[in-house]
Structure 1
Amino acid sequence: MSSSAVDGVPSTGTNETILICLRGNSGAGKSTLARTLRYRHGRGCALVGQDHLRRILLRERDKPRGLAPALIAQNVRFCLDHGYHVILEGLMHAARYRSMLTELRDAHRGRTLFVYLDVSLPETLRRHDTRPMAAEVSPDHLRSWYTPRDVLGWPDELVLPETTTLEQAVERIATAAGLPLTGRDTDILPAAP
């Protein structure tokens, strides 16, 4: 990690690293988009998922003063500091995560792109019906978690409407972030023992 800092926050990554943050409501397509971007880029791109760290690792509810934002930031910084591009994805409601996201944005030496998937509640519910977790998570849960248009409001935030196809989203994000899409099937196969 570098000794230079912005407002007391140590800088992270290099001039070459790319940080892409995908935000949106549950069922908006963040995880699918994140996995597709990572696959299409190939090796050297880390995927940090809010749900995995918060729900699985910590088993913590999304609450004020929870540990999840700090753990997410630590994982993102670790990967950037070791030369990886990072795709961070999750709901990350602005009210709870703005501070952490602002620190990551301000501390990152390389390119940073924040993307919000703007999907309506009816479309969210329709998409959720097609997901494996539909049996575990009820439509009422989705309604209670839904926050309409929870954008950060930053001038360079990329807001993608629900009519954006997966391929259009991949191309727009890769272009805006400068993320090369050169991945091949062999790039994500496990290494031989």
Structure 2
Amino acid sequence: MLEELRDLFYPKVLSYYYDLIFEETVRHHQTRSKKADFSSADMKRWWKECDFLGWEEAIFTDQVSLEDAFQKISKNINLL
């Protein structure tokens, strides 16, 4: 599905990968209103380390603040 969308809208496609450790992902999940919908054990079964899409993506790590990520994405959108 994502490949179809990429192909449909190319070249106006931006892809981003948030490269977080599993524990950070669990911490983020615990702040959500739907945190009871599934457990960290469920998440561990679904977890795929370095689950890239297979095409060019910008990578954000846990060292990048939400504000910095937002600014980068906004800037890239304006360049399209």
- Identity rate, percent: 35
Shift of 1:109: 5.3
Q: Which residue of 2 aligns with 1:186?
A: none
> Relative contact order: is structure 1 or structure 2 higher (C-alpha 8 Å, sep ≥ 6)?
2
Listed one character per residue, the Cα deviations across residues 28-71 of structure 1 (whole Å, up to 9, x for unaligned) are: xxxxxxxxxxxxxxxxxxxxxxxxxxxxxxxxxxxxxxxxxxxx
| TM-score, normalised via structure 1 length | 0.37
Q: Which residue of 2 aligns with 1:115?
A: 16
- Paired with 1:116 and 1:109, the residues of 2 have a C-alpha distance of 18
Gap change, CA 1:165 and 1:106, over 3 Å in 2: same
> Structure 2: where are the runs of 5+ without partners?
none
Is the helix fraction higher in 1 or 2? Answer: 2
Partner secondary structure for residue 111 of structure 1? coil
Larger Rg: 1
Query: What letter is aligned with 2:49?
Result: P
Shift of 1:162: 2.0
Gap change, CA 1:140 and 1:174, over 3 Å in 2: same
Q: Which residue of 2 aligns with 1:174?
A: 74
Gap change, CA 1:142 and 1:108, over 3 Å in 2: same
Q: Which residue of 2 aligns with 1:159?
A: 59
Shift of 1:168: 0.7
Query: What letter is aligned with 1:161?
Result: T
Is the strand fraction higher in 1 or 2? Answer: 1
Shift of 1:163: 2.2
Q: Are the counterparts in 2 of residues 118 and 161 from structure 1 also a CA contact under 8 Å?
A: yes
Shift of 1:167: 0.7
Choose from 39, 43, 50 the match for 1:149. Answer: 50
| Residues 11-160 of structure 1: pairs in structure 2 closer than 5 A | 100-108=1-9, 111-154=12-55, 156-160=56-60
Gap change, CA 1:104 and 1:134, over 3 Å in 2: closer
Listed one character per residue, the Cα deviations across residues 146-178 of structure 1 (whole Å, up to 9, x for unaligned) are: 111111232x31111122211111111111232
| TM-score, normalised via structure 2 length | 0.79
> Structure 1: where are the runs of 5+ without partners?
1-99, 180-193
- Paired with 2:69 and 2:18, the residues of 1 have a C-alpha distance of 9
| Count of equivalent residues | 79
